[in-house]
A and B are shown apart, each in its own frame.
Chain A
Amino acid sequence: MAMHSWQRLGAKWLAGLIPLAEAGVHPDDCKVTASLAITDAPLPPLLVLPIRQHIGQACAPIVDAGDTVLRGQKIAKSQGYVSTSIHAPTSGRVVKIEEHAIVHPSGIGMLSIFIEPDGEDRWLEKLPAMADYAQRDPAEIREQIRSCGIAGLGGALFPTFIKLVRDPNHRIETLILNGIECEPWLTCDHRLMVEDAPRIVAGLKILRYLVQAERCVVAIEDNKPDAAAAMREALKQAGCADVEVRLLPTIYPQGSEKQLIETITGRQVPAGKLPLHIGALCENVATTAAIADAVLEGKPLIERVVTLSGDAMPKPANLRVRIGTPVDYLLRQQGLEDLHGVEVMQGGPMMGERLRHLDAPITKGSNGILAMRQQAREPESPCIRCGHCVQVCPVGLMPNELASHCRNDRFEESEAFNLFDCIECGACSYVCPAHIPLVHYFRYGKGQVAAIRRANAFAELSRQRSEAREQRIQREREEKAARRRARSAAKPAPSPVPPKAEQP
């Protein structure tokens, strides 16, 4: 059953032979909202803010039901290092704090803070602005970015301040602004670059000061020439002539952090390592704009641009939405009332999550809400060994082998085929002529491996506890015996009364 070492070696070697240049797919880009200006979404009657909107530990609420809050007020503070705070998107009253549906494939809810807007939208006194950031300590600026609750808005939601360290062992050489937006339908980053390029450039300058990168690249796909022109113009205005705007050929999944770094620097981020380890830093353009807001104006992250689109959306739009706005409210705003035969998802069609509860709120990671006509799924048929998935995998994995291992619960083998390097981009499932739900198998495999690891760790802990208990019982027994011996030694004459049984 177990895999031989030579098989493992062969798998690694074969994976290395696959030319990465051809990896990726070309789905129809369907960017129907590309020319629509960003408009403000109205305030909903109730905002719902889940206490975890980033990768890492959940926040702890610092308000109670009945409290009044102001726009920008911190309502949940970060716990631990990998965490970032959450702020009130508008002024109003905290109605309750209880579990509510979120966008998650399990349908499990999360503790959320409910805010009823009072309509006044009054700002709290903002954090001190740092227009003179270039004279300040980088640690102070990082703290500002942290307390403004900024996480990667591209969708990964990694707390941004963690990436902005000056590590003497790993100097950042290349700073990459990610304006790729390779998912079909989505245009929120595109519109932000067209309309708000100066803000992005301001953020870029802050990032550059923080990490002292020598080379800066703004990466944009060649289907967005207007965004590239706007960025070039803004860079010229801001006096950043040495920042390069690179137009890259449109291919999915170019916008994935590790893939983009490889395209720009020619270096691969090793498995299990961070971009930092090869001297690269990659930030999404929307995150960069949010950094500019946080540092230059002291504005926390309380709104984001969301693309509402899809073939079943009556009025597609790019909306600036307050975090916490329920999705069904936005759908009604865009004229989508009848949801019969419509599937709503968050994110793009390649990697997005289907919404199980439409009252789930927009969070920091919601880059798009798509309403798609339901399509019949083709049944999965046997793999015909065409190798197409192997060709398109941007990480150079062998999805065909991996899926077969995961399907048959051969987790040791699937780990040997580097299951955990899969970025779940969905390129393999997209091209598979046998309609094998490859990514679904990989997610299943990853979940099972994680569960087995957790169970093993718990078993090890239980073993230790049970062994410690046995040792303790043994020790107590010996001590008792020793005491008994000592007593009988002190009393040489045998007593006629039998020794009383000891009380437990």
Chain B
Amino acid sequence: MSVVLMPILVLAVAGLLFGLLLAVASKLFKVEGNPLEASIDQLLPQTQCGQCGFPGCKPYAHAVVSGEADVNHCVPGGERVMLQIADLMGVEPKAIEEEPSAPMVAFIREDECIGCTLCIKACPVDAIVGAPKQYHVVIAEDCTGCTLCVEPCPVDCIDMLQTPELLEHWSWPLPGTARAELAHERKYGHA
């Protein structure tokens, strides 16, 4: 009888012990949030523009990881970010749907501003300062160019201006040789 009972008993006790161990470990070494989600969030340009259809960069990263969204929805990130996300997720790259526009910055025409604070509430990075019934102004160097402030403005006094190209930020284009173009085509030209 003990020949049958002993192994069952030993296995049961061992199973219980390992189960306890796993339970303790899962409590002790619990990882907050999804690490993959965090690293995708790191790759995103943090404009919080919502052009991907999600209310910010973090929600989009969450959606990509949980499979709700494709890798090619970040408009300001463009090809480069799409390729990096696809690489991280281990999926095939997909063509981006919308070309990123030139970098923009919001500008409030002060003489038309009525001081309603609606744009201040809309700004995802708190880059507009002002108070009720006072002129509002955009802090240009903090503006991500997301255009979220344009729609709420009741008097339509916000313009999106193209940021002037700075001499310090100018960089050489790829050489215009056929081989350079071919390399670029190979890297980014998949449909």
**Interface of A with B (CB < 8 Å)?**
1, 104-106, 108, 110, 379-382, 407-409, 436-437, 440-441, 443-444, 446-448, 450-451, 454-455, 458-463, 465-466, 468-469, 472, 504
B183 at the interface (CB under 8 A from A): yes
Q: List 18 A-B contacts (CB under 8 A).
A: A1-B87, A104-B167, A104-B170, A106-B170, A379-B177, A380-B175, A380-B180, A408-B187, A440-B172, A447-B170, A451-B169, A451-B171, A459-B44, A461-B142, A462-B144, A465-B127, A466-B46, A466-B126
Q: A1-B87, A407-B180, A465-B142 are known contacts. Are A459 and B170 too (CB-CB below 8 A)?
A: no
Per the bound structure, the CA–CA distance linking A462 and B127 in Å amounts to 9
Per the bound structure, the CA–CA distance linking A504 and B132 in Å amounts to 11
State the Cβ distance, A470 to closest chain B Cβ, in Å: 9
Contact A466 B171 (CB under 8 A): no
Q: Which residues of A contact B56 (CB under 8 A)?
A: 466
Contact B175 A106 (CB under 8 A): no
Per the bound structure, the CA–CA distance linking A454 and B180 in Å amounts to 24
Contact B178 A380 (CB under 8 A): yes
Q: A382-B179, A407-B179, A451-B171 are known contacts. Are A465 and B45 too (CB-CB below 8 A)?
A: no
Q: Which residues of B contact A465 (CB under 8 A)?
A: 125-127, 142
B51 at the interface (CB under 8 A from A): no
State the Cβ distance, B104 to closest chain A Cβ, in Å: 14
Q: Which residues of A contact B174 (CB under 8 A)?
A: 407, 441, 444
Contact B171 A108 (CB under 8 A): no
Contact B167 A450 (CB under 8 A): no
Per the bound structure, the CA–CA distance linking A461 and B127 in Å amounts to 11
Report which of A108, A440, A446 forms a contact with B167, defined as CB distance below 8 A: A108
State the Cβ distance, B47 to closest chain A Cβ, in Å: 7
Report which of B87, B124, B169, B184 forms a contact with A466, defined as CB distance below 8 A: B124
State the Cβ distance, B91 to closest chain A Cβ, in Å: 14
> What secondary structure prevails in chain B residues at the interface with A?
loop
B32 at the interface (CB under 8 A from A): no
Per the bound structure, the CA–CA distance linking A466 and B47 in Å amounts to 9
**Interface of B with A (CB < 8 Å)?**
41, 44-48, 56-57, 80, 87, 121, 124-127, 142, 144, 165, 167, 169-175, 177-180, 183-184, 186-187
Q: A462-B144, A465-B125, A465-B126 are known contacts. Are A443 and B178 too (CB-CB below 8 A)?
A: no
State the Cβ distance, A42 to closest chain B Cβ, in Å: 30
Contact A106 B46 (CB under 8 A): no
Q: A110-B167, A455-B45, A468-B126 are known contacts. Are A443 and B177 too (CB-CB below 8 A)?
A: no
Q: Which residues of B contact A472 (CB under 8 A)?
A: 126
Contact B177 A380 (CB under 8 A): yes
Q: Which residues of B contact A461 (CB under 8 A)?
A: 142
State the Cβ distance, B151 to closest chain A Cβ, in Å: 17
Contact A447 B171 (CB under 8 A): yes
Q: A106-B170, A444-B172, A447-B172 are known contacts. Are A462 and B48 too (CB-CB below 8 A)?
A: yes
Q: Which residues of A contact B142 (CB under 8 A)?
A: 461-462, 465
Q: Closest A residue to B167 by CB, please name it.
A: A108
Report which of A440, A454, A504 forms a contact with B175, defined as CB distance below 8 A: A440
Q: Which residues of A contact B124 (CB under 8 A)?
A: 466, 469
Per the bound structure, the CA–CA distance linking A110 and B184 in Å amounts to 32
Per the bound structure, the CA–CA distance linking A108 and B48 in Å amounts to 31
Contact A380 B46 (CB under 8 A): no
**Most chain-B Cβ atoms within 10 A of its Cβ — which of A1, A106, A437, A454?**
A106
State the Cβ distance, B149 to closest chain A Cβ, in Å: 13
Q: Closest A residue to B79 by CB, please name it.
A: A409
Per the bound structure, the CA–CA distance linking A443 and B172 in Å amounts to 6
Q: Closest A residue to B166 by CB, please name it.
A: A108
3 A-B pairs closest in CB distance: A447-B171, A462-B46, A380-B177
Q: Which residues of A contact B144 (CB under 8 A)?
A: 458, 462
With A441-B180, A446-B172 already in contact, 12 other A-B pairs whose C-beta atoms are closer than 8 Å: A1-B87, A106-B165, A380-B180, A407-B180, A408-B183, A444-B171, A444-B174, A451-B169, A459-B45, A462-B48, A465-B127, A469-B124
Q: Which residues of B contact A379 (CB under 8 A)?
A: 177-178
Contact A466 B125 (CB under 8 A): yes
Contact B170 A108 (CB under 8 A): yes
Q: Which residues of B contact A463 (CB under 8 A)?
A: 41, 46, 57
Contact A380 B179 (CB under 8 A): yes
Q: Which residues of A contact B180 (CB under 8 A)?
A: 380, 407, 441
Q: Which residues of A contact B177 (CB under 8 A)?
A: 379-380, 437
Contact B173 A459 (CB under 8 A): no
Q: A379-B178, A462-B47 are known contacts. Are A409 and B187 too (CB-CB below 8 A)?
A: yes
**Most chain-A Cβ atoms within 10 A of its Cβ — which of B44, B45, B179?**
B179
**Most chain-A Cβ atoms within 10 A of its Cβ — which of B87, B167, B184?**
B167
Q: Closest B residue to A410 by CB, please name it.
A: B187
Q: A1-B87, A380-B178 are known contacts. Are A450 and B171 too (CB-CB below 8 A)?
A: yes
Per the bound structure, the CA–CA distance linking A454 and B87 in Å amounts to 22
Contact B167 A462 (CB under 8 A): no
Per the bound structure, the CA–CA distance linking A468 and B46 in Å amounts to 13
Q: Which residues of A contact B41 (CB under 8 A)?
A: 463
Q: Which residues of A contact B186 (CB under 8 A)?
A: 408
Q: Which residues of A contact B44 (CB under 8 A)?
A: 459
Q: Which residues of A contact B170 (CB under 8 A)?
A: 104, 106, 108, 447
Per the bound structure, the CA–CA distance linking A409 and B56 in Å amounts to 28
Per the bound structure, the CA–CA distance linking A407 and B179 in Å amounts to 9
Q: Which residues of A contact B46 (CB under 8 A)?
A: 458-460, 462-463, 466
Per the bound structure, the CA–CA distance linking A450 and B172 in Å amounts to 11
Q: Which residues of A contact B47 (CB under 8 A)?
A: 462
Q: Closest B residue to A467 by CB, please name it.
A: B58
